[in-house]
Chain A
Amino acid sequence: MSPETSPAPAPASGAQLPPPPSLADRIKTVAANPLCGVVVALVVIFVLSCLLSAHFLTAFNMKIIARSLAFVGLVTIGQAILMILGELDLSVGAIGGLSGVAGGLFMVQFGLDPWLSLVLCLALGTACGLLNGVLITQLRLHSLVLTIGMAGVYGGANLVLTKGVAITGIPGAISFLGRGMMFGLPVPFVILLVCLAIVSFVMLRTPLGRYVYAIGSNKAAARMLGIRVDAIRICAFASAGFLSALAGIVMVARLGTAQPSIGDTWVLAPIAAAVIGGVATTGGLGSPFGAVLGAVIIGIIENVIVLFGISPYWQSIVSGGIVVAAISFDSVARRYFNREA
């Protein structure tokens, strides 16, 4: 049993550069990127929509999509941060509705300055999110369960304030936020882009953003490293509350009335959008940018359903089915490219 004559090549130490990857490896690297699935799906759906409907790719229709996308998009950013962190907030819709009508009340009933009302409304949404975060971290509750309860509380407060009736007579001063155009884009869409840019910057370029991914990947290890896990979780809930309130008040500005029903559809669509966009429901993976791309897909699908004149009775089945198909495609593709890695 003589020792091996040709020993294995010296193990590659991390400091040395690995050999340049082959083309196949490069394709795999690109394909393994969590954004790849959603981009491919988005391109496919966009091209199909252009081919199937002559009315789809028009400036007018694009504006419609961009404007209606902004609301779910804003909520999606907040939900995506929470999901990356390993949390979920089912009260974002209720916070958006409550903050929106509260903003309306400040302006109409109390006659406050519209911009001051806007600030108060955002503060209220942030406070609601903060309360969620404090309860979840301090009482060690599961975010899903707590926010189901809080959705009831915030939604109920909305009804107590409005008695279910819309508040009309919103001052024209803020209608620009909902209806105006800026750089040729609808203002709500510009607000979405600005928020997305800020959040993406924080997530990618600051230690805080890294900590969010770390907590989502392994909460105990994050604590062991001295990361202030609970403080960051509370901040994330507060940010989600802020973004929901922003969506709520911009919606009020757009409608010109504060409807108690604002936010009713902002709960499930953002979660679906985030998953389509590559955010893992278990935390630690994905990006707000991907999640917003997921929201774009859902927005296009809903738009095309209307353009095709599909019976309203069928709309929900079609859009739900396409969402499931998109998620499945992503999951299957990821398993194919990521096998064992």
Chain B
Amino acid sequence: MVLLKATGIRKSYPGVVALDHIDLTLEPGKVHILAGENGAGKSTLIKTLSGLVRPDEGALAIEDGDALQEPRLFQRVAYVPQELNLFPYLTVAENMFMPFGRSGFGTITVSEKAMEREAEKFISRFGIHARADQKVADISVPDQQLLQIARAATQEEFRIMILDEPTSSLTAKETERLFRIVNDLRDKGIAIVFVSHKMEEIFSLGDTVTVLRNGRSVGTFPMADMTESELIRLMSGSTVKLDEQFQSRSETRDDDVILSVEGLSGPGFDDVSFTLRRGEILGFAGLVGAGRSEVMQTMFGFRKARAGRVMLEGKEIARNRPDKAVRAGMMYLSEERKHHGIFPMLSVRENIALAVTGAITKGGLISGARETATVSDIIGRFDVRTSSPEKKIMFLSGGNQQKAIIGRAMARKPRLLIFDEPTKGIDIGTKFQIYRIMQTLAEEGVGIILVSSEMSELQRCANRIVTMYAGQINGSFDHADTDVSTLVAAIIGSPETSHVA
């Protein structure tokens, strides 16, 4: 039996073919993985399947009806987008059943009590830690993520659920909760489309996988015969060595201290001290909320420090002045690419040029020729894939936005670069490009800090790993003689293992 059948789906935007004759079949009770690098066309395909994007060509049948002719068939598809889009100041129940007319809880007035009673059922079914009458702003991010899924499931007639990277901001435990829900839905005969970059998830959940590359389908395969390296090869079209290491080589390291932080305190963390030596990549491990990003942002002056000193190459950095930190040679690449990184409404050219005004001006004025040359050099060197430098950066894929931001930061020749979750939501090929950049920089003597929630990433790149727990540093480990379990014990605050090396 087939729930959804897409044939020959084609969609093009000015200058790009986003989807090129894609076929996809969804069966009840199966988890169908969509894999592909950033910009491969996964998002466009998902949006087409859920009726948000109309294809230029092709047929889309849902339960044997032509969905392109009968849009109400799209009600069978529950779509959970990657980004949270909830109403923060409305209650959990209100978020679940909005619009009230559809859910039957209010045509003229809203029947709050009945709605909350109904919401409780979904809350317990999806294991959300919240009350129905709580404001969404007051519940945790993972619970918000689950609420989004529950909301999609309130659409009663849904037979297909599409999950777009649902675990990107979940911890391991919360991911487990989510998996139980997905398995539960699968057992009830729902067809599930699951998009993820995380290999463990793909292999533990998937029944079948369709791999997209550059808008085309590379093929659909049963997961049972798939291996990790084969999947990566299909996605990237090239082979990457899974065990490749990116630590800077020891001969480039010396005891010269680039950065020293003494007794820094700020919002969400207390009395943090550490040093970064020349030529090393310093990793920061910890749970979401342990205070790692807060430390980095306070060091950088983006958040207010209560106490402490930050010295970069022997010079003290003024507090609360990101402009002075940048002038001293510190650059911070935020985890929140959308909020702290890109200027969405400006073009790729303008986004890059903003960081290199020194290089593109002549007598204080911007020189068009210099700008074009500098920007296209960065675009080329960092392999930013865009149809034109004039394209608004918000239309680029996440990985390409990230490469543009890194390129822009590098063009400033920083003395210290802080990468905060640099590969969040980024495909493997690009990930390895970013690792290589970090390695090269460290070997050239630039200080590198890598904040990451992925243990494998830290193990792959960092020479030394500092662990944080509940706003404090509770350990510092050398990559060479530390195993994963020691690190994990430290980040969950297990007392017997925490020590300061």
Contacts and interface: CB of A to CB of B under 8 A. Distances in A.
Interface of A: 1, 3-4, 7-9, 11-15, 18, 21, 25, 28, 204-207, 210-211, 213-214, 217-218, 220-228, 280, 284-285, 340-341
17 contacts: A14-B384, A14-B386, A15-B376, A25-B14, A25-B15, A210-B357, A213-B346, A217-B344, A217-B345, A217-B346, A218-B339, A218-B343, A220-B339, A221-B339, A221-B340, A224-B322, A224-B341
B140 interface: no
Contacts of A207: 357, 361, 364, 366
Contact of A28 (B14, B342, B346): B14
A223 B342 contact: no
Interface residues of B, number: 55
A8 B357 contact: no
A221 B341 contact: yes
A280 B346 CA distance: 13
Given A28-B14, A207-B361, A221 B343 contact: yes
Identify whether the interface residues of A are mostly helix, strand, loop, or mixed.
Answer: loop
A90 B340 CA distance: 29
Contacts of B343: 213-214, 217-218, 221-222, 284
A4 B225 CA distance: 17
A221 B327 CA distance: 16
A210 B347 CA distance: 12
B216 interface: yes
Nearest to A25: B14
Contacts of B213: 7-8
Contacts, number: 118
A223 B345 contact: no
B269 to A, nearest CB: 19
Nearest to A24: B14
B353 A210 contact: yes
A95 to B, nearest CB: 29
A295 B365 CA distance: 28
A211 to B, nearest CB: 7
Given A11-B214, A207-B357, A218-B339, 17 more contacts: A7-B237, A8-B214, A8-B237, A15-B379, A21-B15, A206-B364, A207-B364, A207-B366, A210-B354, A211-B354, A221-B343, A225-B326, A225-B354, A226-B324, A227-B354, A285-B345, A340-B53
A34 to B, nearest CB: 11
B387 A12 contact: yes
A340 B13 contact: yes
A7 B383 CA distance: 19
B387 A18 contact: yes
Contacts of A9: 214
A328 B121 CA distance: 45
Nearest to B326: A226
A226 B409 CA distance: 11
Given A1-B219, A223-B322, A341-B14, A14 B379 contact: yes
Contacts of A284: 343, 345-346
A284 B343 CA distance: 9
B376 A14 contact: yes
B376 A218 contact: no
B357 A4 contact: no
A213 B302 contact: no
A8 to B, nearest CB: 4
Contacts of B225: 1
B437 interface: no
Nearest to B353: A210
Closest 10 CB pairs of A and B: A226-B326, A15-B380, A14-B379, A207-B357, A217-B343, A8-B214, A284-B345, A226-B323, A217-B345, A228-B323
A340 B345 CA distance: 13
Interface string B333-366: 0100001111111100010011101000100111
Nearest to A19: B15
A1 B395 CA distance: 33
B364 A224 contact: no
Interface in B10-38: 13-15
Contacts of A205: 365-366
A225 B332 CA distance: 8
A226 B215 contact: no
Contacts of B127: none
A210 B302 contact: no
A225 B380 contact: no
A223 B355 CA distance: 11
A8 B17 CA distance: 12
B385 interface: yes
B350 A210 contact: yes
Interface in B369-388: 376, 379-380, 383-388
A269 B334 CA distance: 40
A4 B217 CA distance: 9
A340 B325 CA distance: 37
Interface in B90-107: none
Contacts of A218: 339-340, 342-344
A339 B98 CA distance: 27
Nearest to A285: B345
A89 to B, nearest CB: 22
Contacts of A221: 339-343
Given A18-B387, A218-B344, A220-B340, A227 B14 contact: no
A104 B391 CA distance: 51
Given A207-B357, A340-B13, A14 B365 contact: no
A259 to B, nearest CB: 41
A282 to B, nearest CB: 9
Interface in B292-341: 300, 302, 322-327, 332, 334, 339-341
A81 B201 CA distance: 49
Nearest to A282: B345
Contact of A4 (B219, B325, B340, B395): B219
Contacts of A220: 339-340
A7 B233 CA distance: 12
B179 interface: no
Contacts of A280: 345
B392 interface: yes
B492 interface: no
B218 interface: yes
Contacts of B234: 3
B372 to A, nearest CB: 12
Contact of B215 (A8, A222, A340): A8
A33 B196 CA distance: 37
Interface string B212-236: 0111101101000100000001100
Contacts of A4: 216, 218-219
B389 interface: yes
Contact of A223 (B237, B302, B344): B302
B346 to A, nearest CB: 5
B267 to A, nearest CB: 15
Interface centre among A25, A213, A218, A225 (most CB of B within 10 A): A225
Which of B213, B221, B346, B383 is packed against the most chain A CB atoms within 10 Å? B346
Contacts of B324: 226
Contacts of A222: 343, 354
B420 to A, nearest CB: 11
A3 B237 CA distance: 9
B13 A224 contact: no
B367 to A, nearest CB: 9
B38 to A, nearest CB: 12
Nearest to A207: B357
A12 to B, nearest CB: 7
